[in-house]
Amino acid sequence: MEKPSKSHGRLSINASRKPTPLLKDTPDLAGVWKAKVLTLYPEMFPGVLGHSLTGKALKEGLWSLDPIDIRMFARGKHRNVDDTPAGGGAGMVLRADVVGRAIDFADKGHSREDWPVVYLSPRGKRFDQAMARRFSQAKGITLLCGRFEGVDQRVLDAREVEEVSLGDFILTGGEIAAQALIDATVRLIPRVLGNADSTEEESFSDGLLEHPQYTRPTEWEGRMIPEILLSGHHANIAKWRSDQSEKLTKERRPDLWRAHIADSVEDQELSDAQNFVEKTSKKDD
């Protein structure tokens, strides 16, 4: 089996794994956020992650990507990574022993407290902006991309793997989902977007959908930019954007709106309780 990578200064150097051609010009720097991707198709990476701002940040070493071929951890003459489902049924299941060795390899040198291991699965908890922010604040993440009928449950339980889903639909494998999760996470890393304010005003950043956006020309096909946005009155513009966010969230995502209202009520109750305690303490004094 392949030996784990070693770090020399900031450059992380691997003694035996050959990088895929798409990653040959990207620095692998120690100490930056890293995504390790366990997959049967490492050639799929970086994919879309190699373009636009995430690709630029990858080449500049603001984050690092390490696709790991699960087949390296298969043993025996045929190096099988999967087998038929216990109890019968269609398809194949990724073997616990193979996936276990792959996870153990990726785990070396990391603590689960600051390096989560995630299996992209339709059974998992729904991925959201709060989760992306949590992942971005870790030192890195290991993503397991499933194929066929999934992964032997025993390895998920034994290695305490977190299951995450992009939504209620099925993909042929976890690679596309992994790239989406990485993109949503990497863009929250400082300096990747270049403008920190961008991430604070987006949809879901405060539990609401983002307000509508406009730019030049002022008139297009008889449609005008809302006049308030051209007024230069920042307080009024901020209120208009807030009102639009609330309106859109109520109409399109009532689930988010209910959660937002519940959080607001909870915050108000906590504030009232704190004020009551402060007033009582002053009276006692």
| Boundary residue ending a domain (130, 164, 186) | 186
pLDDT in tens, 162-187: 999 999 999 999 999 999 999 999 99
The band of 6, judged by pLDDT with boundaries at 50, 70 and 90, is very low
Interacting residues of 247 by C-beta distance below 8 A, sequence separation 6+ = none
From 126, 117, 168, 109, select the one nearest 145 (Cα to Cα): 117
Q: Output the pLDDT for position 4.
A: 47
Q: Output the pLDDT for position 204.
A: 57
- Looking at the fold, whether 179 and 270 belong to one and the same domain comes out as no
Q: Report the 10 Å Cβ neighbour count for 53.
A: 14
- Looking at the fold, whether 107 and 230 belong to one and the same domain comes out as no
Q: Output the pLDDT for position 202.
A: 53
- Distance, CA of 152 to chain centre: 23
Q: Output the pLDDT for position 32.
A: 95
Q: Output the pLDDT for position 263.
A: 86
Q: Output the pLDDT for position 276.
A: 66
From 179, 164, 178, select the one nearest 127 (Cα to Cα): 164
Least confident range of 6-15, 17-26, 129-138, 268-277:
6-15
In a domain, 11, yes or no: yes
Least confident range of 101-110, 144-153, 273-282:
273-282
The band of 13, judged by pLDDT with boundaries at 50, 70 and 90, is very low
More confident residue, 172 or 199: 172
Report the chain's mean pLDDT, rounded to a whole number: 87
Residue 47: how many CA atoms within 13 Å on its side-chain side? 16
- Looking at the fold, whether 229 and 180 belong to one and the same domain comes out as no
- Looking at the fold, whether 134 and 266 belong to one and the same domain comes out as no
Q: Output the pLDDT for position 171.
A: 95
Q: Output the pLDDT for position 203.
A: 52
Q: What is the CATH number of the domain that holds 264?
A: 1.10.1270
- Looking at the fold, whether 71 and 176 belong to one and the same domain comes out as yes
- Looking at the fold, whether 182 and 248 belong to one and the same domain comes out as no
In a domain, 207, yes or no: no
Interacting residues of 285 by C-beta distance below 8 A, sequence separation 6+ = none
Give me the mean pLDDT over the 136-158 stretch: 97
In a domain, 275, yes or no: yes
The band of 285, judged by pLDDT with boundaries at 50, 70 and 90, is low
On the question of pLDDT at 61 being above 80, the answer is: yes
Q: Output the pLDDT for position 167.
A: 95
User: 252 in helix, strand or coil?
Assistant: helix
Please state the domain count of the chain: 2
- Looking at the fold, whether 253 and 134 belong to one and the same domain comes out as no
Question: Which tokens sit at 228?
Answer: 């308030």
Give me the mean pLDDT over the 53-63 stretch: 97
Q: What is the pTM of this model?
A: 0.80
Give me the mean pLDDT over the 47-62 stretch: 97
- Looking at the fold, whether 110 and 248 belong to one and the same domain comes out as no
In a domain, 205, yes or no: no
- Looking at the fold, whether 10 and 74 belong to one and the same domain comes out as yes
- Looking at the fold, whether 117 and 182 belong to one and the same domain comes out as yes
117, 164 contact by CB (below 8 A): no
On the question of pLDDT at 120 being above 70, the answer is: yes
Q: Output the pLDDT for position 8.
A: 36
Question: Among the residues of the chain, which ranges form H helices?
Answer: 52-59, 96-107, 129-136, 153-158, 175-186, 196-200, 234-252, 254-284
In a domain, 1, yes or no: no
| DSSP class of 171 | -
- Looking at the fold, whether 23 and 140 belong to one and the same domain comes out as yes
Domain of 53 in residue numbering reads as 6-186
In a domain, 194, yes or no: no
Least confident range of 2-6, 47-51, 93-97:
2-6
Q: What is the CATH number of the domain that holds 171?
A: 3.40.1280.10
Q: What is the DSSP string of 217-237?
A: -SEETTEE--GGGGS--HHHH
- Looking at the fold, whether 174 and 274 belong to one and the same domain comes out as no
